[in-house]
Structure 1
Amino acid sequence: MFEVLVYVYENYWRPDACPDARQLSRKLSAVGFESDEIQDALTWLDGLSSAAESYAGTQSAVGMRVYVAAETEHLGEGSIGFISFLESAGVLRPDMREIAIDRAMAIPGSPLALEDLKIIVLMVFWSLGEEPDALILDELFVDAEDRLIH
């Protein structure tokens, strides 16, 4: 499913540029994605759209997020740490954090892989029509072991 999401992000820079679900399904199938992956991704994207509508702009800019046991277990320490890092860097607003957590909780299996969470965060930016700055894109796309330190 995550390969489909990355494909959607790379080919449709904004949600309004993305075709409707039926047409997108056909395009993804023509590219070679399997129908199960496509259906999972489309269902997940529908949930992303709903979450973006319900959370966007509703959260206070100050406050502390307390994770319930189910979230802690599902997300895992690495993902929670990454979310905290993005928040403390001023990149992830509280409403975006809540959308990311909502969509992460919709992914089966736990703990959630950090690489999968990064794609989820990227899709949250995409769903709101926002582009993360270059340093955050680097953090979301480039593996730590592939980074060159100057």
Structure 2
Amino acid sequence: MNHSVLDVLMYLFETFSEQEHEEATDQDVLRQELLRAGFGEPEVDRALDWLEDLNRDPDRPFPSAPTERSLRLFSSLELSRLDAACRGYLIYLEHIGILSPLNREIVIDRLMALGAGEIDVEQVKWVTLMVLFSQTGQEGAFARMEDLVFEENTGLVN
């Protein structure tokens, strides 16, 4: 099967997010479970590396954390991978208070680390959910984001 790193991460999130922290963080157990589930070894290894990077010291990747008054300019690489809809969605999440400027930077960092081509809004939603889940003190933002991820896209009938 041809799975992406995000497919592996979504499987992990959906399968292990309710389990005890110790049980869900044993990388050997996770690795074996993912291989048994049919994911390829390269994708599993990249997904576990992605998670390890997510759980590192949050101050390390962004020594000069953005403030509320910071203006975010996207790099050429970010512009090539995050279309206007993705960038707009990130701004929307920050505007409604789900993402802080620092968490926005972590989400962008983790999106870029997926290694895939162009990123879509669904991927932004899932990565945001995973980032918020990993951050202490973000339970309210996580719950709001979870509603956005799992809400049905139903159209209005006139």
The aligned residue for residue 137 of structure 1 is 146
Identity of aligned residues (%): 28
Q: Is 1:36 aligned to 2:42, yes or no?
A: yes
Aligned residues of 1:9 and 1:126 also touching (Cα < 8 A): no
- The reply on whether 1:12 has 2:23 as its aligned counterpart is no
- 1:110–1:2: structure 2 CA closer, same or farther, 3 Å change rule? closer
Deviations 1:11-48 (A, max 9, x none): 23489442222221012223333323211211211222
Residue 137 of structure 1: CA displacement? 1.5
1:21 aligns with 2:27: yes
Query: Are 2:98 and 1:94 aligned?
Result: no
Native 8 Å contact 2:8 2:44 kept in 1: yes
Contact 1:4 1:37 in 2 (8 A): yes
Give the paired residue count.
Answer: 148
Alpha-carbon RMSD across the aligned residues, in angstroms, is 2.8
C-alpha distance in structure 2 between counterparts of 1:92 and 1:104, whole Å: 15
Shift of 1:61: 3.1
Change (3 A) 1:30 1:81: same
Query: Which structure: greater helix fraction?
Result: 1
In structure 2, stretches of 5+ residues that fail to align are none
**Residues 28 and 95 (structure 1 numbering): CA distance in 2 closer, same or farther, change over 3 Å?**
same
2:69 paired with 1:62: yes
Q: Is the 8 A contact 1:14 1:127 kept in 2?
A: no
Using structure 1 for the length normalisation, give the TM-score. Answer: 0.80
Stretch of structure 1 that moved more, 41-50 or 84-93: 41-50
Which region of structure 1 is more displaced relative to structure 2, 28-37 or 84-93? Answer: 28-37
What is the rounded CA distance, in whole Å, between the counterparts of 1:9 and 1:30 in structure 2? Answer: 16
Q: 1:6–1:119: 8 Å Cα contact kept in structure 2?
A: yes
> Which one scores higher on RCO, CA 8 angstroms, separation ≥ 6?
1
Is the contact between residue 15 and residue 127 of structure 1 (CA under 8 Å) also seen in structure 2? no
